[in-house]
Amino acid sequence: MPYVANTTDDQRAMLDAIGLESLDELFEAIPEELRLKRPLAIPPALSEMELTAHLTALAGKNASAGEKVCFLGGGSYDHFIPAIVDHVAARGEFYTSYTPYQPEASQGNLQVFFEYQTLITQLTGMDVSNASLYDGGSAAAEAVLMAVTTTKRHGRVVTANSVHPEYREILATYLANLGIELVTVGTPEGTVSPAELAAQINGDTACVLVQHPNFFGCLEEVDALAAAAHDAGALLVVAVDPISLGLLKRPGDYGADIVVAEGQSLGSPMSFGGPYLGIMACREQHVRRMPGRIAGETVDRRGKRCFVLTLQTREQHIRREKATSNICTNQGLFALRAAVYLAAMGPVGIRQTAELCLRKARYASGRLTADTSLVPAFSRPTFKEFVVRCPHGNVEAALERASESGYLAGVPLSRWYDDLADCFLVAVTERRTQDEIDGLAACLKELTCSNA
């Protein structure tokens, strides 16, 4: 019992003070017939040394991104994490504290959230950011619900096939019992046609949800998509790759009303999918419909600047069933990681990172399609990801063999797209070197040709 301090003597003294004979009497309130009469059937306790050996053995059965060269993306990326991010996040005062109910004892967290919110507004060009949600996918669903209550249009939501399929699955799950129709526009060319999107927006459409760069890595025609939404009185909700904003026009500059993003790229490990960071930012006029915690600046009784959680009347602990969402907390520690990451990058670092991703991804796409039998699936401009088609042979088998050769070469698209069953998605971050890309091309050349 490494974490309980009470000795037998302590327990005796405490039971005496309470007026009880035994520990069992503490549970008198639980009817006898409801008690478990046997020990839980779970494995026996392990010492720290045994646990360490056990976890090390389990970890050894996984192949980490350090052992194989990672070209996997689709919303989770092998970006570099500066040491200071881990260092700061390992401070016990940060990671063992809780949500700042007592602002006087939580100024560290509150100021970090305020700084995080500011960094996100700088990155996105939006007016207001919350202090974060769970992940990019559920943030997208929350943004759509926010658009529904903001516009008071409960009829329809329009999205596109080029939005991350898991984000759309989450949205469909969230909307299942709310009587809101979800319309998905096809994207056979890799991006959504603004005219086709506009044709689906009716007078009761709350919003349009698009992703830019999209799930296939392609850049959408965001200006035209924004116009299509706004012409019909709908909001534009856009999911972005935060790293891309080192180069691309910011959503606030092309008319987005709500921006969401998966914040994992900003200094968090891939960690098999979580915990991650749901980024959400919006225009000032929508803030009272925004879900999630928000830190705000104020002054204390002596007039000193300080920070508190603000606009709490939006939230479940006050509004209960009328709250903007059921969400209770943010992803505090991962908002901290993103804040440290963005501050460490600064404008120059984020720009360089985005440029490196772009140049290396283009180099990779050139090498892969020139050296192997793979062909580009789409012709639209891309950022750090691209889709290739494998005209000869089985994609899954090729990827599995590439993995055995040390390359996590790409994400097969057959799970989500019947028409892209012979395709996979390749992601190239700033961490990938020319040698690694050339190695991947050589590996795939062998596999895709021998598969023919």
Partner 1 sequence: MRNARATQLLFELARPGRRSAQLPACDVPEVPLDDLLPAEALSPAPPPLPELSEPELVRHFTNLSTQNMSVDTHFYPLGSCTMKYNPKRNERLASLPGMIDLHPYQPSATLQGLLELLDGLQQMLAEIAGLPAVSLQPAAGAQGELTSLLIAAAHFRTLGQKRTKVLTPDSAHGTNPASAAMAGFDTVQVKSTPAGFVEMEDLAAKLDDSVAVFMITNPNTLGMFDRQIGEIAKRVHDLGGLLYLDGANMNAILGITRPGDFGADMMHFNPHKTFSGPHGGGGPGAGPIAVSEALAPYLPVPVIVRDGDRYELEYDRPQSIGRVRSFFGNVGVLVRAYCYLRTHGPEGLRRVSENAVLNANYLLSKVKHIFPVPQGDRCMHEFVASGARLKSDRGVSAMDVAKRLLDYGFHAPTVYFPPIVREAMMIEPTETETKETLDAFAETLFRITEEPPDLLCEAPHTTSISRPDEVRAARQPVMSWRAE
Taking alpha carbons only, the member of 99, 95, 85 closest to residue 295 is: 99
Interacting residues with partner 1 between 113 and 132 (CB under 8 A): 114-115, 117-119, 121-123, 125, 127-129, 131-132
The CA-atom distances, in angstroms, between 416 and each of 81, 187, 216, 342, 383 are 30, 13, 12, 33, 21
What separation in angstroms does the CA of 375 have from each of 386, 388, 391? Answer: 11, 5, 8
- Contacts of 187 by beta carbon, 8 Å cutoff, 6+ apart: 160, 161, 162, 214, 216
Q: Cβ distance 121 to 129 under 8 Å?
A: yes
User: Any contact of residue 205 with partner 1 (CB under 8 A)?
Assistant: no
Select from 241, 257, 262, 385 the one that contacts partner 1 (CB under 8 A).
262
Complex with partner 1: residue 173 or 199, whichever CB lies closer: 173
Cβ proximity to partner 1: between 135 and 257 the closer is 135
Closest to partner 1 by CB, 298 or 450: 298
| Interface with partner 1 (CB under 8 A), residue from 149, 154, 172, 439 | 172
88 is an interface residue for partner 1 by CB under 8 A: yes
Q: Which is nearer to partner 1, 4 or 195 (CB)?
A: 4
Decide if residue 358 touches partner 1 (CB under 8 A).
Answer: yes
Contacts (CB under 8 A) with partner 1, residues 281-340? 287, 293-302, 304-308, 310-313, 315-323, 325-334, 336, 339-340
- When asked if residue 152 is in the footprint of partner 1 (CB under 8 A), the reply is no
Q: Least Å distance between CB 71 and partner 1?
A: 10
Stretch near partner 1 under the rule CB under 8 A, chosen from 31-39, 146-154, 186-194, 198-206: 31-39
Q: Which is closer to partner 1, CB of 156 or CB of 203?
A: 156
Is there a contact between 258 and 148 (Cβ–Cβ < 8 Å)? no
Which CB sits closer to partner 1, 377 or 408?
A: 408
Enter the tokens of residue 205.
């459409």
With helix as H, strand as E and coil as C, how does 152-219 read?
CCCCEEEEECCCCHHHHHHHHHHHCCCCCEEEEECCCCCCCCHHHHHHHCCCCEEEEEEEECCCCCEC
Q: With binding defined as CB under 8 A, does residue 87 bind partner 1?
A: yes
Least separation in angstroms between CB 122 and partner 1: 5
- Determine if 378 is a binding residue for partner 1 (CB under 8 A): no
Nearer to partner 1, 112 or 377 (CB): 112
Q: Please state, as a whole number, how many other Cβ atoms lie within 10 Å of the Cβ of residue 354.
A: 22
* Closest C-alpha among 371, 208, 403, 164 to residue 363: 371
